[in-house]
Amino acid sequence: MDRFVSTFTNKIDAKGRVSIPAPFRAVLERDGYGGGIYCYPSLDAPALDAGGERLAQKIDGLLAGLPDYSDERDELSVALYGDVQVLAIDGDGRIVLPQPLRTHAGLQSEVTFVGLGEKFQMWAPERFDERRRAAREKVQEHRKLLGRAARSDGSEGDGA
Amino acid sequence: MDRFVSTFTNKIDAKGRVSIPAPFRAVLERDGYGGGIYCYPSLDAPALDAGGERLAQKIDGLLAGLPDYSDERDELSVALYGDVQVLAIDGDGRIVLPQPLRTHAGLQSEVTFVGLGEKFQMWAPERFDERRRAAREKVQEHRKLLGRAARSDGSEGDGA
DNA sequence: TGGATAATCATGGGCGTCAATGGATCGTTA
DNA sequence: TAACGATCCATTGACGCCCATGATTATCCA
């Protein structure tokens, strides 16, 4: 199994360190681990996107299609690479979140890790709760359309 | 890993020296380091482009595609080579930015190093923030076009 | 089946190393 | 000799690395 699933909430300690949930670490290790995870601010949410090599290659793939020295490439490069931070994982499976990233996601003392398949997100727990509540409502609406819904409600299980 | 990634902000001291971020130095050393970095004003941004041997070869490659003695080649040669400076790296991993380059990028007391894969840029922090903000907006627009390549946060229906 | 034991994982703290930064020294040159 | 540049040295603060603790879960045996 190579996907990030489930949600976990861990604490940020005095040094700004957070443990990556062990199941996520296991996925990262299978995913050609290159010394760290790739992390950047989510484009449309107060959260951080993160993943391993597979995610990095996806970003490269986006740029590979554009000609060198084109305006689009330059802009996309700045937007994609410019925001990306490579976060080293220490011997205990923890990362340090730099201040700019913490600010974007509004992270204070806890981080909720949300598995999204090939990548995962990091949220401030309160904001994620809010988001999840909104998502539930939408799912309720879609349910009628989807018939038997894709997920009955497996999205909780976070340890908080 | 052979690419410049992440962003770092370092200070310019009274003598005009700046430390190159250690991770970037590591990339430069692997990249056939020849005693200095190639640096020139970005063609379309108030920033400086820089890199090692690989970047130099890329510039050569661009020119190689144009016929000798053509106007385009002459112009491009001047545009590309004309402003290139080879900046020596001192024993502590620092470079000195000549005044013309600093002027082009509007560098005052701090420099933001932005990894862009095969090269990196140096920005005045304020200008980079501005540029990044603009780039992110554009990416949001393009996002639908990029579609499943960029996003995987399928809020419903997990990734394949 | 229940309890004891072992293993895994999150969390906190201490310590050594390295990088960034500032200053001093030496050599070169006008 | 004065000014500039380049190399070297020192300080400080951050980061990586190691170990200890506690809690929860899984395993094994009685």
- Nearest nt to the CA of B89 via C1' is D6
The CATH number of whichever domain residue A82 belongs to comes to 3.40.1550.20
Number of domains making up chain B? 1
Regarding predicted confidence, which is higher, A71 or B65?
Answer: B65
Q: How far is A14 from chain B (nearest CA, A)?
A: 22
In a domain, A151, yes or no: no
Contact A77 B117 (CB under 8 A): yes
Measuring CA to CA, how many Å separate A28 from each of A13, A33, A104, B28? 22, 6, 24, 27
In a domain, A36, yes or no: yes
Q: Which residues of B touch A121 (CB under 8 A)?
A: 153
Query: Domain range for residue A117?
Result: 7-146
The tens digit of pLDDT for each residue in B29-40 reads 988 776 689 999
Is the pLDDT reported for residue A14 higher than 90?
Answer: yes
The tens digit of pLDDT for each residue in B72-128 reads 888 878 877 788 889 999 999 999 999 999 999 999 999 999 998 889 999 999 999
Q: How far is B62 from chain A (nearest CA, A)?
A: 9
Q: Which residues of A touch B4 (CB under 8 A)?
A: 81
How does strand A120-123 pair with strand A48-51?
Answer: antiparallel
Beta pairing partners, B96: B17
In a domain, A72, yes or no: yes
Q: How far is A75 from chain B (nearest CA, A)?
A: 6
pLDDT score at B151: 42
Q: Which residues of A touch B6 (CB under 8 A)?
A: 84-86
pLDDT score at B65: 78
Q: Which residues of B touch A84 (CB under 8 A)?
A: 5-6, 115
Q: How many residues does chain B have?
A: 160
**A40 — phi, psi (to 5°)?**
-155, 160
In a domain, B159, yes or no: no
Q: Is the CB of B150 under 7 A from strand D?
A: no
Q: Are B110 and B127 in contact (CB under 8 A)?
A: no
Protein-to-nucleotide distance from the CA of A40 to the C1' of D4, whole angstroms? 44
Interacting residues of B75 by C-beta distance below 8 A, sequence separation 6+: none
pLDDT score at B150: 43
pLDDT score at A141: 78
> CA-CA distance, A42 to A122, in Å (whole number)?
9
* Subset of residues 70-89 in chain B with CB less than 7 angstroms from any atom in strand D: 88
Q: How far is A60 from chain B (nearest CA, A)?
A: 9
The residue-averaged pLDDT of A134-152 equals: 71
For residue A86, give the nearest of A58, A51, A110, A61 by alpha carbon. Answer: A51
The residue-averaged pLDDT of B124-146 equals: 81
Is the pLDDT reported for residue A126 higher than 60?
Answer: yes
pLDDT score at B60: 85
pLDDT band at A147 (very low <50, low <70, confident <90, very high): low
In a domain, A152, yes or no: no
Measuring CA to CA, how many Å separate B143 from each of A121, B61, B140? 18, 31, 5
Regarding predicted confidence, which is higher, B143 or A43?
Answer: A43
Contact B115 A85 (CB under 8 A): no
> CA-CA distance, B154 to A150, in Å (whole number)?
12
**Which residues of B sit within 8 Å Cβ distance of A?**
1, 4-7, 23, 42-45, 58, 62, 114-117, 121, 128, 131-132, 134-136, 138-140, 142-143, 146, 149-150, 152-160
In a domain, A153, yes or no: no
pLDDT score at A34: 61
Interacting residues of B55 by C-beta distance below 8 A, sequence separation 6+: B38, B49, B118, B119
What mean pLDDT, rounded, does chain A reach? Answer: 84
Share of chain A above pLDDT 90, in %: 53
pLDDT score at B143: 65
For residue A154, give the nearest of A139, A144, A146 by alpha carbon. Answer: A139
Go through A35-65 and write b for each residue having 16 or more CB atoms within 10 A of its CB, e for each that does not.
ebbbbbbbbebbbbbbbbebbbebbeebbee
In a domain, B24, yes or no: yes
Q: Which of A2, A33, A37, A74 to mutate to test the interface with B (most CBs of B within 10 A)?
A: A74
For residue A123, give the nearest of A135, A108, A136, A107 by alpha carbon. Answer: A107
Q: Are A78 and B131 in contact (CB under 8 A)?
A: yes
Is the pLDDT reported for residue A120 higher than 60?
Answer: yes
